[in-house]
Amino acid sequence: AQKITQTQPGMFVQEKEAVTLDCTYDTSDQSYGLFWYKQPSSGEMIFLIYQGSYDEQNATEGRYSLNFQKARKSANLVISASQLGDSAMYFCAMRETYSGAGSYQLTFGKGTKLSVIP
């Protein structure tokens, strides 16, 4: 079973509108972290936002916010006031604690391609 599921292969949004990119996750850990990364067509991976499983408030970073619903195991990314430069692939990722491994590895979803329309 996938640990990170992004159900929207592609999304379109009008410039200046808000858009929500979906992410659901599967873990039995109590302590975990959720990340969103942006990958423009140039290929680099850009960190956007982080949410810890014990954080009581939803994370926000500028125009990005994370709608964290722990009981539903969802961590949706909300981009407000979309800009043309927001067109990119967006990846949701989860960090779990691997017992005995001592490494906090990121598991990535397959991504959502967002296209912002002028």
Partner 1 sequence: IAGITQAPTSQILAAGRRMTLRCTQDMRHNAMYWYRQDLGLGLRLIHYSNTAGTTGKGEVPDGYSVSRANTDDFPLTLASAVPSQTSVYFCASSLGASGTHEQFFGPGTRLTVL
| Residue 108 in contact with partner 1, rule: CB under 8 A | yes
Residue from the set 45, 81, 84, 117 that interacts with partner 1 by CB under 8 A: 45
| Residue 101 in contact with partner 1, rule: CB under 8 A | yes
Residue from the set 7, 12, 40, 47 that interacts with partner 1 by CB under 8 A: 47
The least CB distance from residue 1 to partner 1, in Å, is 14
CB 17 within 8 A of CB 83: no
CB hemisphere CA count around 19 (13 angstroms): 22
| Residue 90 in contact with partner 1, rule: CB under 8 A | no
Q: Which long-range contacts (CB under 8 A, 24 or more apart) does 70-74 make?
A: 72/24, 73/24, 73/25, 73/26, 73/27, 74/22, 74/23, 74/24, 74/25
Residues of this chain that bind partner 1 (CB under 8 A): 4, 33, 35, 37, 43-47, 50, 52, 91, 93, 97, 101-111
